[in-house]
Structure 1
Amino acid sequence: MIKKETLAFVNDLIAHNDRVWFQENKSRYDDAKKNVDDFANVIIAELIKTDGSIPKEITAKQCVMRIYRDVRFSKDKSPYKNNFGIGISARGKGNDGAGYYIHIQPGASFVAGGYWLPQAEHLKAIRQEIDYNTGDLLKVIDDKEFKDFFGGFDKEQTLKTTPKGYDAEHPYIEILKLKSFTVTHSFTDEELMGPNAVAAVLKGLKLIYPLNVFLSHAIL
């Protein structure tokens, strides 16, 4: 589970996002990072049992994202992120394909997965797979447990017009218009700090697995 001290550290970091404060509270960061690493290692070890594409040697070291922001090309010069992120895939946190993501932030934590903003070639291949094998995708996203947990695809990244090569009257045009094929489920702070936190997060990741299989097959 995620400790209340970890969430408290992130809350304070959001309020005091500067290097002086961070150095003064470095021991708190180290404790929080260890908690997130331990949580990630348990999740990864269990997820590997479901998703065999994740190498057995992958650990939190390859999956937990840096707290330090790259501010070179950003107007926001805050040096630190306001969350802990865990990216899990065949390549750990760095992956050009389908994967899993756990976001830890007070009042805004979530689990997500799928393929976020695929490159043009992959996007074309995924749309073609959806068009040719719609039934395989529907078996995943229309599953009652999946729908109850996620609802449906995230809609933030969507074309305003019909994608090239597809009819506006296509029965699944709203899915084909997506630019990202991801799903998200939010968690409360209490859920992440509770004794069932690992099981709850794993439930979401395991439900995402068939979606990732479909998306990965599309870009082979």
Structure 2
Amino acid sequence: MNETIPRETFSFLNRLQKNNNREWFTENKKEFKEIEREVKQFFNQLGEYLNKYDQIDKVKVFRIYRDVRFSKNKIPYKTHFGGSFHRVKPRLRGGYYLHLEPNDNSFIATGFWDPNKDDLLRIRKEFEMDATEIREIITKKSFKNVWGEIEGDEVKTAPKGFSRDHESIDLIKKKQFIFTKKFTDKEVTAAGFMEQASNDFKVIRPFFNYMSEVLTTDLNGVSLIEE
């Protein structure tokens, strides 16, 4: 299996960025398919790394083709590779993402990109009741050294039904709960990148454990999962 990202990956994506049209892509499709094959091998191998300490049931590498039907931007191809690693649902929540883009634009991301309405309300209710544990997790030095601050969209003041003066309104008003870490091209193509990404993802586990427990129980701690 392939444990490194080929340097040719970024070279190809840079050329694609300058020649983002179907004629050029067709002429270079053989090279693309070989690079895509190696990139998919990398993603699948990283999924195996994650399975050493988590339960991943699906690895998905997104297609290079852009859906331009409803977009003003009609450029036909993405100039990056991206893929996700799905945890076993419904017991385990959250997910992992790897983004490969040249010119030092690569990153790994994790957390909750688009929680549904019910999940978001449940999270907010938990923070409203007691945010002590989540704050301890995300402010721990070993956690912040890897993932920094929590990111994501949020409402301007307070969600409906919540007080804007609540002591945890900074968490309650969030609509997403995302963490990202950037990498240079040199770091991504280095021999140890897969292990580095896996180790960084491992650091998020206390956050996932907490959020999974919240989202699989009610406010009294009673399980919502049918046995």
* Equivalent of residue 6 in structure 1, options 6, 9, 25: 9
* Equivalent of residue 182 in structure 2, options 177, 186, 192: 186
Instruction: Please list every run of 5 or more consecutive structure 1 residues that lacks an aligned counterpart in the other structure.
Output: none
- Deviations for 1:79-100, whole angstroms, at most 9, x for unmatched residues? 11121001001379xxxx6211
* Equivalent of residue 161 in structure 2, options 165, 171, 178: 165
Mapped pair 1:175 → 2:171: yes
Inter-CA distance 34–91: structure 2 relative to 1 (3 Å threshold): farther
Please tell me whether the aligned partners of residues 2 and 193 of structure 1 are also in contact (alpha carbons under 8 angstroms).
Answer: yes
More helix as a share of residues: 1
- Deviations for 1:154-206, whole angstroms, at most 9, x for unmatched residues? 14x12112122222222221121111101000011110011210121112211
Please tell me whether the aligned partners of residues 140 and 210 of structure 1 are also in contact (alpha carbons under 8 angstroms).
Answer: yes
Match of 1:100 in 2: 96
- Deviations for 1:4-43, whole angstroms, at most 9, x for unmatched residues? 1001111111111111111111122112212211211221
Please tell me whether the aligned partners of residues 108 and 186 of structure 1 are also in contact (alpha carbons under 8 angstroms).
Answer: yes
Q: Give the drift of 1:72.
A: 1.2
Mapped pair 1:46 → 2:39: no
Match of 1:147 in 2: 144
Please tell me whether the aligned partners of residues 114 and 215 of structure 1 are also in contact (alpha carbons under 8 angstroms).
Answer: no
Amino acid across the alignment from 1:149: V
Mapped pair 1:213 → 2:216: no
2:211 and 2:79 mapped to 1: Cα distance? 30
Q: Give the drift of 1:208.
A: 2.0
Displaced runs of 4+ in structure 1, greater than 3 A?
none
1:129 and 1:50 mapped to 2: Cα distance? 26
* Equivalent of residue 27 in structure 1, options 26, 30, 34: 30
For the residue of structure 2 that corresponds to 1:63, the secondary structure is: strand
1:67 and 1:133 mapped to 2: Cα distance? 43
Identity %: 36
Instruction: Please list every run of 5 or more consecutive structure 2 residues that lacks an aligned counterpart in the other structure.
Output: 217-227
Amino acid across the alignment from 1:83: H
Please tell me whether the aligned partners of residues 137 and 143 of structure 2 are also in contact (alpha carbons under 8 angstroms).
Answer: yes
Please tell me whether the aligned partners of residues 128 and 166 of structure 2 are also in contact (alpha carbons under 8 angstroms).
Answer: no
For the residue of structure 1 that corresponds to 2:204, the secondary structure is: helix
Amino acid across the alignment from 2:44: N
2:181 and 2:9 mapped to 1: Cα distance? 21
Match of 1:195 in 2: 191
Match of 1:134 in 2: 131
**Normalised by the size of structure 2, how large is the TM-score?**
0.85
Amino acid across the alignment from 1:128: K
1:41 and 1:15 mapped to 2: Cα distance? 29
- The two structures, once aligned, show a CA RMSD in angstroms of 1.8
Q: How many residues align?
A: 209
